[in-house]
Amino acid sequence: MTRQPETDLWWKKTTVYQIYPRSFMDSSGNGIGDLEGIISKLDYVKDLGVETIWFSPFYTSPQEDFGYDIANYKDIAPEYGTMANCDKLIQEIHDRGMKIIMDLVLNHTSDKHPWFLESKSSRDNPKRDWYVWQDGKKPKGKAPPNNWQARITGSGWYYDENTDQWYWAQFLPFQPDLNYRNPEVKAKMFGTVRFWLEKGADGFRLDIIDSLYEDAAFRNNPLSRHLLPSEDGVLFKSTKMTMHHPDTMIFVQELRKLIDEYSNPSRFLVGEVEGPMPTIKKYCGEVNNPGLNSIFLFETLGVKLQPKTIRKLLNKFNQYYPDPFIPTWVSSNHDIMRRISRFNNDLEIAKLNAALQLTARAVPYIYYGEEIGLQQNSIPLSDSLDAVVSRFRKLPKVIQKLLQKITSEAIHRDNCRTPMQWTPSQNAGFCSPSIKPWLPVSSGYQDRNVETMYNNPDSILHCYKRFLQIRKQYSVLNSGRMTLIASELLPKQVLGFSRWIKTSDVKEEVNIFLNFEDTLVEFSNPTASKNIIASTTIVKAENNEQKIILRPYEAIIME
């Protein structure tokens, strides 16, 4: 596959659109999204204005965790299509001048993977040491080797009667962790990365990459102050021995060297990493010894839309990710409550959130459906297909309700993975009205769908398109620096910042103003900008170069 060389770091300027393949478009008539369905909608994605698509996994899998439990890294799950379909998808994306990011789960495999089936067959199997096995404690080894907790609570150790040992699984029981202290495993997975780079992948999103290595001595995790998952641990135990191991930092630097061999075009890595900012920044390495190109900064997922809060977060990102590093801005994803549902499904607030995401200094990640206001579903726990829910079904109902209220996105992920809404017809155009989709379509699809919103120039869909187009047209918005406008120059409900680039004696600059309240606000223009080049609404107030008027929840870009 011949590609044109590139001289700039495209990934720092791009906007990424995440597609959950199972829920995007069904072309085969089984109620499950597939690769041909995605191909049929690539023109829509291109027209939206994004440049890069990130796909959740569509590799061969028993689908117990809907693709994040991989049974073959080099083949395609039959419900999604074939490798020929995948090759076509990659080519069609590149033909449109777009990039493709593959989701890669390096931490674990499915327990149905041939490697694990061999590993658990006997203690002396050649692949035994491909996974993390340990003897148990107490008489006859019937207790776990130590106190390590899985990321979703409960012990992460699982007993195998056949070989009388325990295997370690950082996430779910059917996702045993690979043992990267075995050089054969490391070589095999690096080979997998090369396989997809040769296929044309432009980069990888790395699932729970912060858990790759564990303490080699299998020491207990110390106590923590926290019951619920936090930066410090879960269920009163820290994650010191099971996350952010120094050997993981070394691994990502080696992986970066591997992908940097493929420079025509350049490739990139974005990691799913959780923890305090000083810790997760280490995954990026240093300028002369780089690691991941970027990391998901999950503070944006639940941040309150308040000027003081956003100002503080933007300053924090600038502090930790100055050039040549760059932060990310994520509002939703396949594991987390849809952002609009944190705003009581208010479309105007969602437009404001989009404007912030697409103008701040960061790489924006848009989760499919955000551009039409697709809202969180409310599927009962009893009907959930999500394997995470099974971990909580045995708990008392009172505890279940408390956990769901506090961390609903963490224990019932079906609700943010429902089918994309294309039309106002039954099943929202995702699949035939006569077919039952794999998950029920969210409520409100009759109004919140692509077809309806295309016909409304003031819709959230057109708001996304306006801001994405301006982001492409003005290099200051995709690669410029950012300076916050002093808060004393603005009303308390308004946040303002500049995006700028200075070359020689020429300075290009645009200014962004966001009104975070449901009231019209008027104030003196603190900048030299005169013209509004984009707004979240097409019903603009009467602004001039001395005065700025913002309608409720309006955001504008001025030059």
Q: Clarify whether 488 is annotated catalytic.
A: no
Question: Is the N-terminal amide bond of 324 cis, ω within 30° of 0?
Answer: yes
| Cis amide leading into 139 (omega within 30) | no
169-186: buried (b, 16+ CB within 10 Å) or exposed (e) per residue?
A: bbbbbbbbbbbbebeebb
Reference 523, options 497, 488, 557; nearest CA is: 488
**Choosing from 272, 274, 370, 409, which is the catalytic residue?**
272
Helix (H, G, I), strand (E, B) or coil at 208: coil
C-alpha angle 262-265-268 in degrees, rounded to nearest 5:
65
Tokens 């799950």, residue? 77
Dmax of the chain from CA atoms? 80
Q: Record the tokens describing residue 444, joined without a space.
A: 């409100």
Straight-line distance from the first to the last Cα atom of the chain, in angstroms, rounded to the nearest whole number: 41
| Separation in Å, CA 436 to CA 366, 422, 555 | 27, 16, 40
Is 299 considered catalytic here? no
**Which residue is listed with tokens 């299998």?**
218
Q: How far apart are CA 131 and CA 163, in angstroms?
A: 14
79, 111, 207, 370: which is the annotated catalytic residue?
207
Find, among 175, 169, 172, the residue nearest to 134 by Cα.
169
CB 238 within 8 A of CB 223: yes
Nearest-angstrom CA–CA distance, 381 and 391? 11
Query: Residue 559 is encoded by which pair of tokens?
Result: 């030059």
Q: How many CB atoms lie within 10 A of CB 305?
A: 18
Q: Return the DSSP state at 98.
A: -
- Chain-centroid distance, C-alpha 7: 27
Which one-letter amino acid corresponds to residue 522?
A: E
Residue identified by tokens 């499950």 is 32
Helix axes 347-359, 460-473, angle to 10 degrees: 10
Active site residues: 207, 272
